[in-house]
Amino acid sequence: SALTQEASVSGTVGQKVTLSCTGHTNNVGSLPVGWYQQISHGAPKAVMFGDSLPSGIPDRFSGSKSGTTASLTISGLQPEDEADYYCSTWDYSLNVVVFGGGTKLTVL
């Protein structure tokens, strides 16, 4: 994948977890990153764009970026947050939407 994500992350209920998405100056370093949550192979749902929270998404989700790494932080992890999370943005060099390989978040 053009963007690199952890294969798996785990945390306990109430814990804060951070998922990362690393790319290059042509993609993550240049534009906001979108994050998608996919629960049990259902339809993905947008949970963050840059540092903006879509309507209806709990405010325990937050987004940030430093250089060519974007992060999705979940503060106060809940059982319903267990899902696969994908990051995505535009790549100026490739002229394509690029995705990370996805992070499987397990709530212990």
Partner 1 sequence: QLQLQESGPGLVKPSETLSLTCTVSDGSITSTSYYWGWIRQPPGKGLEWIGTIYYTGNTYYNPSLKSRVTISVDTSKNQFSLKLTSVTAADTAVFHCGRFANGYYYMDVWGKGTTVTVSS
**Residues near partner 1, by CB under 8 A:** 1, 31-32, 34, 36, 42-46, 49, 54, 86, 88-90, 94-102
Q: Rank residues 54 and 67 by Cβ distance to partner 1 and give the closer one.
A: 54
Amino acid at 100: G
Q: Which helix (H) or strand (E) is 105 found in, with range? A: strand 103-107
Measured from the CB atom, the residue of 5 and 77 that comes closer to partner 1 is: 5
Q: What is d(CA 41, CA 56) in angstroms, rounded to the nearest whole number?
A: 21
State the nearest-atom distance from the C-beta of 16 to partner 1, in Å: 25
Neighbours of 84 (CB within 10 A): 18
84 touches 105 (CB < 8 A):
yes
Q: How far is the CB of 106 from partner 1 (least distance, A)?
A: 18
The nearest distance, CB 61 to partner 1, in angstroms, is 14
